[in-house]
Chain A
C-alpha cells in the first residue's frame, strides 16, 4: 500500500475527520489548562472532576437533555464545592476531593442503574467514543474550547502569578481566591470537552501527560506550554490513525501515544543530562 494512503484513506470517512478535529481540539485545550494544573499540583483534581461529571452525563441521558450541559453542571458544581470545602472546612484539599469525587461517581452509578431496560454502553461513558462524535457535538465542543482558551488568554498573567506565588500575588492586589475558583471551573469545562474523546477514566492523562512532558523539557512557562501543545495536539492525531489501522480503542490509543512520548522524553533526558530533579508540581493547596 502507498504510504500516503495510510494517511488519506481514513479521511474518506466523515466520522474520522470529525474525530480528528475533535480530539486535536481537546488535546489543545487540555495542554494549555494542564500546564497550569501540573504546576498547581492539581493532577488528582483532574481525575476527581472527570468522575464527578458522570452523574451529569447520566442525568442528561435520563432527562433527554444535552450531554454537555449535564456534564458541565456536575463537573463545575463539584469543582466549586471542592474549592469551597477546602477553603471553609478544616479539611485538606485531597480529603475534600476524595469525599466529593467518590460520592459523585457513586451517584452516577446509582442513576445509571435506574435506567430501565437500558442496553446502552457504560463502556462508552467511561472510555469515550470519539468516532461517534456528531456535527452538533463538534460545534458544542468547539464553542466550549473557545470559551476556555479565551479565558486563559485573557488571564494568563494573573493565573501564572497566582500559581507561582499566591501570597505575593494576593498582597499586590490580584483576586487569588476568585482566580482559584475560576481555574477549577476551567478544569471542569476542559474535562467536559474531553469526555466524548477519551472518556471519564482517561481524561486526566490528556490533561497531565502533555504538560508533564513540557515540564521535563522546559525551563520557562512559555516553552512548557509550547511543548505541551505540540504533544497534546499531535498525540490524538497519531493515536487516531494507529487505532484506525490496528483497530484498537481510540481513546486508549491516544493516551498510550502521549504516555509513550512522555516515557521517551523522560528516558532521553536521563541518558543525556544529569540535571536538577524535576518536581512534578506542588502539593494540593
Chain B
C-alpha cells in the first residue's frame, strides 16, 4: 500500500439543510471478499436527505460500499455507522434494491406481493399482513404509478416498471435509507427521468438515497451529490465535480477519452487497481476530518 493517508471526504447535501447526525458514516473502512480487497481506507459522511450517486469503474467497489452500509458485508477494519448505530441495528429502516440482473424475474410473484414484502420485517413471524399493511402497499403502488399493474407477475413488466415495483417495496417499508444498486442501468432515458423524479421526491421528503451507477451521464443529470470509488474514495462533493477532468481520471485511472465538456468513459478494467499510489486528493468545500 503506497498511499500514506486515506482520502477523507464529507458529502454536503445540496438543497436541504444538514442535520447534526449523518445518515451514514464510514471511518477508515477496508473491506473485501476472501483475500481480495475491494475497498480501502474509506472515510465518508453522508447527510440525511442526500440524493447521492456512487460512481466508478466496474469492480471499483461501488456495490461493496452499498453492502457495507446495508450490513450485508462486515468490514475488515474501520467502523460503519448507519442511522446512528452499527449496521443491522436499524435494518427495518433500510431498503436495499439489488441489481436487476440478480433478480429471478420468472419468480411467481405479483407486483403487489413484492411491495408487501416491504412490510414483512416489521410484521415479524407471528403476524399476518392486515388492513394497515394493505393500505401502505396500495399507497406505495399509487405513489410509483403501479396500482393498475398490482396483480401482474413481475416477469411481464418493462424494465422501468420492474424498478418501480421494487421502489414501491422501499416506500411500503417506510424506509429512511434507500440503497439502490444500479437503479437506472438498462432503462431508456425517459424512464430514467421518471424514476429519478420519484427518487428526488423521496429525498426531498427527508429520505436518504444512495445509488450506485456506472453511467456518468445519468449521475450528472439526476443526483445532487456524488462519490467516486475506485478501491478508495477518489472524490466526493456536489454533482458539479463530475465536470472536473481530474476527478474522472482519478476515478477511472486515466482511461477516459474527453469529447467536448463531458468525459466519455473508456472503462478499461486492467489498470484501475494498480493506480492508487498516483491518486490525488480532491478537497471539497466542507473539509471534514
Contact = CB atoms under 8 A, between A and B. Distances in A.
B212 to A, nearest CB: 13
B109 A220 contact: yes
B148 interface: no
Interface in A133-186: 154-155, 157-158, 160-161, 164-165, 167-174
- Majority SS of interface residues in chain B? mixed
Nearest to B104: A282
A173 B88 CA distance: 6
A173 B103 contact: no
Contacts of B175: 172
B35 to A, nearest CB: 10
B287 interface: no
Contacts of B70: 167, 170-171
Interface string B85-104: 00010011011111000111
B72 A172 contact: no
Given A167-B102, A168-B98, A220 B125 contact: no
Contact of A154 (B71, B97, B125): B125
B1 interface: no
Given A219-B153, A278-B106, A171 B91 contact: yes
B179 interface: yes
A224 interface: yes
Point out which of A155, A165, A169, A218 has the most chain B C-beta atoms below 10 A from its C-beta. A165
Given A171-B91, A220-B110, A164 B117 contact: yes
Nearest to A154: B125
A220 B107 CA distance: 8
B153 A172 contact: no
B113 interface: yes
A90 B34 contact: yes
Interface size class of A (residues with CB under 8 A): 20 to 34
A207 B234 CA distance: 51
A261 B110 CA distance: 26
Contacts of B118: 172
Nearest to A172: B121
Nearest to A218: B108
B53 interface: no
Given A157-B120, A172-B91, A276-B156, A39 B71 contact: no
A92 interface: no
A165 B153 contact: no
B125 A168 contact: no
Nearest to A215: B108
Contacts of B91: 171-173
Interface residues of B, number: 40
Given A90-B34, A157-B120, A223-B108, A171 B71 contact: yes
Nearest to B107: A164
Contacts of B97: 168
A98 B6 CA distance: 45
Given A154-B125, A165-B103, A221 B108 contact: yes
A215 B153 CA distance: 13
Contact of B95 (A90, A157, A168): A168
A172 B104 contact: no
A219 B96 contact: no
Interface in A239-283: 276-279, 282
Nearest to B96: A171
Contacts of A278: 106
Contacts of A171: 70-72, 91, 94-96, 179
Nearest to A224: B108
Interface string B71-82: 110000000000
B108 A158 contact: no
B153 A174 contact: no
Given A157-B120, A276-B156, A167 B110 contact: no
Contacts of B259: none
Interface string B201-240: 0000000000000000000000000000000000000000
A221 B98 CA distance: 21
14 contacts: A39-B104, A39-B108, A160-B117, A164-B107, A165-B117, A170-B96, A171-B70, A171-B95, A172-B173, A215-B108, A220-B108, A220-B113, A276-B155, A279-B104
Given A154-B126, A172-B121, A172-B173, 4 more contacts: A157-B125, A165-B98, A220-B109, A220-B153
Interface of A: 39, 90, 154-155, 157-158, 160-161, 164-165, 167-174, 215, 218-221, 223-224, 276-279, 282
